[in-house]
Structure 1
Amino acid sequence: MSGKRVIDIIPGFALSFIVAIVAKLLAIFLPSLGAATIAILVGIILGNIFFKQEVLNKGTKFSESKLLEYSVVLLGFTVTFQTISKMGINGLIFVLLMMTIVIFSAYNIGRKLGFNEKMSLMFAGGNAVCGSSAIGAIAPAIDADDEEKGQIITLVNLLGTVMMLTLPFLGTLIFGDNLLSKSALLGGSLQSVGQVVAGASLINSDTVKFAMLFKITRIILLVVVVFAFEKKVKPTSKAKKNKFKLPIPWYVLLFLVLCLINSFVDLPILFNNTAHFLSGWFETIALAAIGLRLDFRKFIKEGPKFLIYGLSVGTVQTVSAILLIVLLNVK
């Protein structure tokens, strides 16, 4: 990372870090809310009232995205394949069915509302797999227009934000203390890694761990989704030939490597404790940044057709997830 880039990141990162510290301190007096919830709420308030300066953007974006990636990697030290096996075959079937339902419903709803094929596919993939990261992988494969890509990324993030703030409470209301059911709801539905971590953090750290297992299963299937969409659209010869990319994000691969090591090597307890400590701080700073970057003006800017599209797909996702968790007895 160049010196210029580091300097650009400092203001937004520093603000996110300060909000995280405040959240941690307030959580001592408000344990029922917890640092995660407080970090998001304080970030939203400050970001929409006081801190809209452009100089903060690069630092808050870094805090939101990179720190969450590092947090996912560190989870590998706290998870083993024995933990993953708790998902069970029903958990895997749940993920596959959810992705299938979301892709077909998002695509068909989009076409009914008048969105073109490529926009509908990007929205379908973004919701089914991993938000804007999935859209970034799908767009060049189907030769999508940059402006349309930007519109869909905005819509996916708006929908993800609404679901991130509502699903944790809905999941607790419906499934009570059932850890795996709530984790499946969040990890199987929420769009981005950040939203899964943020939403699950509103419940507890165990929910973060298990929700991420469902989420990582979806991310691993990204390569299948991109291949299928590319075959469906059959882009013209003008489509750019991309240089080699990893089929799944680097942090997922590292998570799996560390998980593999942790499963077969008896690591010192210091590794687990340090990873848990750092991961918790990375998450809180990232959640503060997510709050700071949540601009309510974007909700108003999008036209009614976009909002109808987002709410329709979000409803299908939520209802389908709840029904599948009950029918497949994911608990």
Structure 2
Amino acid sequence: MQSLIKKLPGFIVALVIAIGSYYIAQLWLPMLGGATIALFVGIILGNTWLKQPGLAAGTKFSEKRLLEYSVMLLGATITFQSIQKIGWQGVVLTVLQMSLTIGFAIWLGRRLRFSEGTYLLMAGGNAVCGSSAIGAIAPVIDADNEDTGIAITMVNLMGTILMLALPVLGTLLWGHDNLARGILIGGTVQSVGQVVASATMINQGTVVTATLFKILRIICLVFVVTGFGYLHQKKQSQATDTKLSQQLLAKKSSLVPWYVLGFLIFCVINSLHLFPGQFGIICHFLSTWCEMTALAAIGLRLNLKTLFNQGKQLLFYAGGLVVFQVAAAILLITILF
């Protein structure tokens, strides 16, 4: 009971920011979306008026647990049937695009001497589904709160830039080709909300294509989380003595955390059409609010001094990764479609 009371203030503040951000998005900034606004409002307030130690327990809970719940609930909103609509070219393009993005993110992150937590979270966030992917990966690779906050902030910032730029770029490259423009947006933009908002700037046909490609990337989350968990444990075991290595290897049963298993189970059940009619809608609603509240909490916990200390190098890393991601997508679309 004491633990619950301790967490309430931080959770309530994060939830209030999420609610306010939702209405700001609805009334004035629909293209940005409530989640992105909640993150940036949280950063501003957390580094000014709400820099309070008493909020720490609640914001830590909201950051960790609510993102996990959001990932699990997301599984009830997608189906494996989406792969059939995309076709083999779409599957090949998505797998290659994600692999190239992850490989480049890891390579560049190491060259710039970022921590393992930062470059793996940036790789997963850009390749899969933004904040949800980062939230799923962070516990598996033992990423600290600082790395998680920085990665989520940069991925959301770059996602916002892509959201606004890709409709223009896609139209310049392919004219009124909805398929190519939809693949470019759905294959690169980070969060689901940003994908839909970006594609909506063109037309409904582009929204359908972009959403299908985004769903396929989300389905791949299970494999990315498992792979990153394995890489982290392997690296840790190589850097420690034999006894500790055995302890780390014994943890391999936890390579796929509960919320990723829940995501997969929900996805399978939804693909078999076993859920009641409104279940997916309810899960989408809850997942969205969990994500918005979690991002508000992450913003409240992010120390801007730490972010600014990495300055130009971090911006170069995030920007370089986005440019590579878009260039790879354009090349693959040209070859396969």
Q: What TM-score does the superposition give when structure 2 sets the normalisation length? A: 0.73
Residue aligning to 1:99? 102
For residue 269 of structure 1, what is the amino acid of its counterpart?
Answer: G
From 220, 224, 232, give the equivalent of 2:223: 220
| Distance in 2 between residues matched to 1:276 and 1:219, nearest whole Å | 19
| Distance in 1 between residues matched to 2:37 and 2:117, nearest whole Å | 33
For structure 2, the residue ranges without an aligned partner over 5 or more in a row are 125-132, 171-180, 201-206
Alpha-carbon displacement from aligned partner over 1:16-60 (angstroms, at most 9, x marks no partner): 112222233444432535433443343233222210001111211
Residue aligning to 2:30? 32
Alpha-carbon displacement from aligned partner over 1:170-198 (angstroms, at most 9, x marks no partner): 343124584543343244xxxxxxxx478
Alpha-carbon displacement from aligned partner over 1:64-101 (angstroms, at most 9, x marks no partner): 22112212211222100022554522101111121122
Q: CA deviation at 1:136?
A: 5.6
Alpha-carbon displacement from aligned partner over 1:237-291 (angstroms, at most 9, x marks no partner): 2645234342223212211111111111343212122112222222222232233
| Distance in 2 between residues matched to 1:286 and 1:307, nearest whole Å | 25
Residue 314 (str. 1) matches residue 318 (str. 2):
yes
Residue 270 (str. 1) matches residue 268 (str. 2):
no
| Distance in 2 between residues matched to 1:280 and 1:132, nearest whole Å | 14
Task: Report if the CA contact (8 A) 1:168-1:200 is conserved.
Answer: no
From 12, 23, 35, give the equivalent of 2:10: 12
Q: Where in structure 2 are the equivalents of 1:1-331 lying within 5 Å?
A: 3-30=1-28, 32=30, 34-84=33-83, 86=86, 88-110=91-113, 119=115, 121-129=116-124, 134=137, 137-138=140-141, 154-155=146-147, 157-176=149-168, 178-187=181-190, 196=191, 211=214, 213-214=216-217, 217-218=220-221, 220-227=223-230, 234-235=238-239, 236-237=241-242, 239-240=244-245, 241-242=247-248, 243-244=250-251, 245-300=253-308, 302=309, 306-307=310-311, 309-329=313-333
Residue aligned with 2:267, SS: helix
Aligned length: 298
| Distance in 1 between residues matched to 2:21 and 2:280, nearest whole Å | 24
Cα 1:48–1:202, aligned 2, differ >3 Å: closer, same or farther? farther
| Distance in 2 between residues matched to 1:249 and 1:179, nearest whole Å | 32
| Distance in 2 between residues matched to 1:107 and 1:61, nearest whole Å | 28
For residue 125 of structure 1, what is the amino acid of its counterpart?
Answer: L
- Higher deviation after alignment, 86-95 or 225-234: 225-234
Residue aligned with 2:278, SS: helix
| Distance in 2 between residues matched to 1:155 and 1:309, nearest whole Å | 15
Q: Percent identity?
A: 30
Cα 1:231–1:53, aligned 2, differ >3 Å: closer, same or farther? closer
Task: Report if the CA contact (8 A) 2:62-2:293 is conserved.
Answer: yes
Q: CA deviation at 1:293?
A: 2.5
| Distance in 1 between residues matched to 2:270 and 2:233, nearest whole Å | 36
| Distance in 2 between residues matched to 1:9 and 1:67, nearest whole Å | 13
Task: Report if the CA contact (8 A) 2:140-2:257 is conserved.
Answer: no
For residue 320 of structure 1, what is the amino acid of its counterpart?
Answer: F
Task: Report if the CA contact (8 A) 1:200-1:211 is conserved.
Answer: yes
Cα 1:267–1:93, aligned 2, differ >3 Å: closer, same or farther? same
| Distance in 2 between residues matched to 1:108 and 1:310, nearest whole Å | 12
Task: Report if the CA contact (8 A) 2:182-2:199 is conserved.
Answer: no
Residue aligned with 1:49, SS: coil
| Distance in 2 between residues matched to 1:269 and 1:73, nearest whole Å | 19
For structure 1, the residue ranges without an aligned partner over 5 or more in a row are 140-148, 188-195
Q: CA deviation at 1:162?
A: 2.7
For residue 102 of structure 1, what is the amino acid of its counterpart?
Answer: A
| Distance in 2 between residues matched to 1:272 and 1:221, nearest whole Å | 24
